[in-house]
Chain A
Amino acid sequence: MNKLTSRIGTVVGGILILVWCLLPVAWIMSLSFKSQEAVTNGSPGFFPSDGGGAGWSNYKDVLQDDQFRRSIINSIGISLIATILSVIFATLAAYAIARLEFVGKKFVLTTALVIAMFPVVSLVGPLFDMWRTFGIYDTWPGLIIPYMSFTLPLAIWTLSAFFREIPWEMEQAAQVDGATSWQAFRKVIVPLAAPGVFTAAILTFFFAWNDFVFGISLTSTENARPIPAALSFFVGADPFNRPASLLAAGAVVATVPIVIIVLFFQRKIVAGLTAGAVKG
């Protein structure tokens, strides 16, 4: 009886996990296909009712909205730049932590740990004030800089965990076999380190893409406003009636890049998320 019940339990559990993860996503997609009239008049229920469907028109409307289009560009640009820079700095630091003995290693790791847990909202006031003084309020750099500092801890952990696993003796083995230092680095170390760097990049991108606090407080116009902030300020034509289905379409658009990344790099993300927290 044991085997069978635990088998059934696992299957039921697996289905529960799928429902848990996908139901709200399915819901927001279903909502995005409800027509705006139906939503205004009230259309309870999971699926669009008969005649209450809107086809792709919500998506068309949302993508034709200048502010929203602009926020997509902002989000992609800001997140990518922040990711690349953050991963470069984190790679340098993680190499030092994993490979070198130095005074102050503890300080670096503790700083990273404290910053990872920092209540971001408590920085919003002083940063708001400082950024206006420096003239980078409501600009891309004004968001890129805080995103970098807040993704560095995660990237440093993930990368130093990965780097510690790399068999560095292979570099010397290659040199003994006649490779130059550059060849040894290029042909041996880079391929071994690349998966870790890539994982750190994905997690960093997720953070930057997800951020809301800095997005709403350090921007004031579509000049630098990222998607989450744009979504929360999206009021549509009638400010007294939030256009739920339009918002849902916008939300789906904002989620698509994440889903694509998850679909392609599932293994790497799981490895990275857990590498920083538990020895593995």
Chain B
Amino acid sequence: MSTHVQTATKATRKAPKRRGTDRSRAENSLARKLVAPAIVLMLVVTAFPMLRALYLSLFDYSLTAPDDREFVGLSNYWTALSDSLFWRDTSNTVMIMIVTVAVELVIGFGFAMVMHKVIFARGTIRTSILIPYGVITVVSGFAWQFAFSNTNGFVNSWLPFAGDDFNWFGQYSSSMVAIMASEIWKTTPFMSLLLLAGLAQVSDDMLEAAKVDGATWWQRLYKVILPNMRAAIMVAVLFRALDAYRIFDNIFVMTAGANGTESISFLTYRQVIEQFQLGIGSALSVLLFLSVLVVAFVIVKVFRVNLADARQEG
């Protein structure tokens, strides 16, 4: 990397130098200047508001009556944590996360295998797989909402087991199916592209050797392909799981939380923006942030994801 190692011979003054050569000090200060704007911007919009949320969460504070702000300690957290609504929404969110990531992993892997092998229409397939990725989540939500609609949709007439006037948004379970369908449709392509990149790294020689040794297709998949793309799979799962945990757009558009389909993000949004309850809303924000940390921690620990792979740098 350091192709130009300039020995700072002239510059060896008596000045106290605890950080190596002038060269490395200059590099340090240049790097800091280059990185500073990005770091400041990222922290101004995340760390600072998060600390502010931490502060506001200790108050009984409603924007409809801003003058009645009153310090209440941790009682907002107690209110949130002892409310069954919070736990219902958390379990909805966790369920959406697990189901969508699992389904996406399977379908995405299938897509990646096909894209890896396909010879005809390679460009067409790769172009079209980017379309769901690019489509706005709100649009995806609308498309699927109308598709599942019993007055204007086509799903009922295409599915053999659903009656023509079955109302998908009439009860909890089928509403969740519709929400998850739109989420899975939109994000599977992203998953499959990450997996495709991992698949490209499995060496053909190894597969060929396994074939010569008489390994069946399944054996090659389980013993050669999957272990060799472990890193790619884990990174894809981590990214998608945390993304799924934030689910908001589809639910807002498709059910607006009706029939108990709220996610934890939606609950937080409702408290803050619709009801102007900044105190309890901030407590929910903090809890949401903490729960994302927990989810990330669990995934990293359970699956032993190597984060250096994710950001390519140790």
Binding site for B on A (CB under 8 A): 6, 10-11, 13-14, 16-18, 20-22, 24-25, 27-28, 31, 34, 39, 42-46, 89-90, 92-93, 95-97, 99-106, 108-109, 111-113, 115, 117-130, 145-146, 148-150, 152-153, 156-157, 160-161, 164, 168-169, 172, 206, 209-210, 212-213, 216-217, 227-228, 231-232, 244, 247-248, 251, 254-255, 258-259, 261-263, 266-267, 269-270, 273-274, 276-280
Q: CB-nearest residue of chain A relative to B307? A: A113
B197 CB within 8 Å of chain A: yes
Decide if B170 is an interface residue (CB 8 Å cutoff).
no
Interface residues on B, range: 35 or more
CB of A261 to closest CB in B, whole Å = 7
Let me know if B136 and A210 touch, CB within 8 A: yes
Contacts of A108 in B (CB 8 A): 35, 38-39
Tell whether, in the assembled complex, residue A18 and residue B128 are in contact, meaning their CB atoms are under 8 Å apart: yes
Q: For the complex, what is the distance from the CA of A147 to the CA of B269, rounded to whole Å?
A: 18
The segment from B9-17, B24-32, B171-179 that touches chain A is B24-32
Known contacts A115-B42, A279-B312; can you find 20 more A-B pairs with CB under 8 A?
A: A11-B120, A14-B114, A28-B139, A39-B152, A100-B27, A103-B19, A104-B32, A111-B39, A117-B242, A125-B278, A145-B44, A156-B38, A231-B136, A231-B139, A251-B143, A273-B133, A274-B197, A276-B311, A277-B239, A278-B232
Most B CB contacts (10 A, CB to CB) among A103, A112, A278 go to A278
Q: Decide if B68 is an interface residue (CB 8 Å cutoff).
A: no
Q: Is the CB of B235 within 8 A of A278?
A: yes
Choose one: B43, B119, B313; the contact of A97 (CB below 8 Å).
Answer: B313
B1: chain A residues within 8 A (beta carbon): 99, 101
B72–chain A nearest beta-carbon distance, Å: 16
Q: Which of A24, A96, A102, A168 is in CB contact (< 8 Å) with B147? A: A24
Whether B138 and A231, one on each chain, are in contact in the complex, defined by CB atoms closer than 8 angstroms, is yes
Distance of A14 Cα from B271 Cα, bound (Å): 45
Bound: A244/B150 CA distance, A: 13
Binary contact readout B67-105 vs A (1 if CB under 8 angstroms, 0 otherwise): 000000000000000000000000000000000000000
Is the Cβ of B131 less than 8 Å from the Cβ of A123?
A: no
- Inter-chain CA distance A152–B41, complex, in Å, is 9
Which one of A14, A150, A172 has the greatest number of beta carbons of chain B within 10 Å?
A14
Residues of A within 8 A of B248 (CB): 121, 212-213
Q: Which of B52, B117, B156 lies in contact with A130, CB distance below 8 A?
A: B52
B113 within 8 A of A: yes
Cα A180 to Cα B121 in complex, Å, equals 46
Q: List 25 A-B contacts (CB under 8 A).
A: A10-B119, A13-B118, A17-B111, A17-B129, A20-B188, A28-B143, A44-B152, A97-B35, A99-B1, A100-B34, A123-B285, A127-B49, A146-B45, A152-B42, A153-B42, A157-B311, A206-B133, A206-B134, A210-B136, A232-B252, A267-B126, A270-B193, A277-B194, A278-B309, A280-B197
A126 touches B285 (CB 8 A): yes
Chain B proximity of A24: nearest CB distance (Å): 5
In contact, B45 and A117 (Cβ under 8 angstroms): no
A121 CB contacts on chain B under 8 angstroms: 246, 248, 265-266, 268-269, 285, 288
Across the interface, which residues of B come within 8 angstroms of A124, CB to CB? 268-269, 272-273, 285
- Measured CB to CB, the closest approach of chain B to A264, in angstroms, equals 10
**Contact string against A for B residues 267-307, beta-carbon threshold 8 Å, 1 for contact and 0 otherwise:** 01101110000100110111011001000100000000001
B117 and A6 contacting across the interface, CB-CB below 8 Å? yes
Contact residue among A44, A169, A212, A258 (Cβ-Cβ distance under 8 Å from B135):
A258
Given A25-B131, A113-B311, A248-B146, also A95-B34 (CB < 8 A): yes
Q: Is the CB of A119 within 8 A of B311?
A: no
Does B259 sit at the interface, judged by CB under 8 A? no
Contact A255 B135 (CB under 8 A): yes
Contact indicator B231/A119 (Cβ below 8 Å): no
Determine how close the nearest CB of chain B comes to the CB of A108; give it in whole angstroms: 5
User: In the complex, what residue of chain B is closest to A202 when comparing beta carbons?
Assistant: B134
How far apart sit A149 and B56, CA to CA, in the bound complex (Å)? 22
Residues on B with beta carbons closer than 8 Å to the beta carbon of A247: 142
A277 touches B249 (CB 8 A): no
Residues of A within 8 A of B266 (CB): 121
CB neighbours of B127 from chain A (8 A): 262-263, 266
A128 contact from B113, B272, B309, Cβ within 8 A? B272
Complex-state Cα separation, A273 to B235, whole angstroms: 13
Contact of B142 among A145, A251, A278 (CB under 8 A): A251
Answer whether A129 and B278 are a contact pair too, CB < 8 Å, given A95-B34, A115-B46. Answer: yes
A274 to B133: give the CA distance in the assembly, Å. Answer: 13
| Whole-angstrom distance between the Cβ of A280 and the nearest chain B Cβ | 6
Chain B residues contacting A17 (CB-CB under 8 Å) are: 111, 114-115, 125, 128-129
Q: Are A21 and B129 in contact (CB under 8 A)?
A: yes
Contacts of A145 in B (CB 8 A): 41, 44-45
| A261 close to B272 (CB less than 8 A) | no
The answer to whether A101 touches B118 (Cβ under 8 A) is no
CA distance A124 to B282 in the complex (A): 9
Task: Say yes or no: A27-B147 contact (C-beta < 8 A), given A102-B27, A172-B4, A274-B193.
Answer: yes
Complex: A193 Cα to B120 Cα, angstroms: 31
Is B144 in contact with chain A by the CB < 8 A criterion? yes
